Amino acid sequence: MRPYHNIPIIESGEPLVKIPLDKFTVETPHPYEKLGAPYGQHSPYFLRQSVIDCLIEAQSYLQQKYSDWQILIFDAYRPVAVQQFMVDYSFAQALREKGLTDSEITPIQRQEVWEEVYKIWAVPSLDITTPPPHSTGAAVDVTLVNGNGETLDMGSPIDEMSDRSLPNYYVDNKHPQAAQYHSNRKLLCDVMHKAGFHRNPREWWHFSFGDQMWAWQHNEIYPNNIVTAKYGRVTS
């Protein structure tokens, strides 16, 4: 259980719709599709309509400051089957990086690796009260691209399972590029927050609007204006 799983979901019924990709930069081909993730009838580039509206607004704020910059959409809608696929893939990848094999790993080692995986990845739950954020169509993983088409260096890649993924990792960090990395992350966060998103406390790239994590963060910030989640797991 995560803290936000206690937030009730009152599903709005708002449809999942295709992101207007001509307005943004996207990963092509999609990083998880390249791995064989089973998306089914929807591509990764779907979100709830209000979330798309907020994303367009965030890019407008970005372009008020840098007219030729764009938001790069790394990932958006993720069915639970894809969540399961990526959790399993990340577990296997972590084993390889540690020089371990699934058949020889000890129970303690297995537990440690799973804990590492679940610092980044939500549990692929089919329980309607605890949906993975991306499975609601309300969460999006993003970064920024400058006017030369270059992706800004945020100091760590999206999905990295390390402390470098923490949004404020480079605050007071001694890395020679720490100030620039933090500045880039802050710019991304600022334009997304201004458009109504909240950022995942553990991931500099993950933002959501209207799901349980978003509502939990909203309620922490505004305890006199309590809200519920309006997007649950997409089931069709």
Taking the alpha carbons of 112, 113, 116, 122 in that order, is the dihedral positive or negative? negative
Identity at 79, one-letter amino acid code = P
- List, in order, residues 6 or more apart from 4 with CB less than 8 Å away: 212, 213, 215, 216, 217
Q: Using DSSP, state whether 22 is helix, strand or coil.
A: helix
Instruction: For residue 203, indicate whether it is catalytic.
Output: yes
Cα–Cα dist 117/135, whole Å:
18
Phi first, then psi, for residue 198 (nearest 5°) are -120, 150
Two structure tokens written together for 45: 């580039």
Which of 14, 57, 203, 220 is the catalytic position?
A: 203
Identity at 203, one-letter amino acid code = E
Question: Residues with catalytic annotation?
Answer: 203
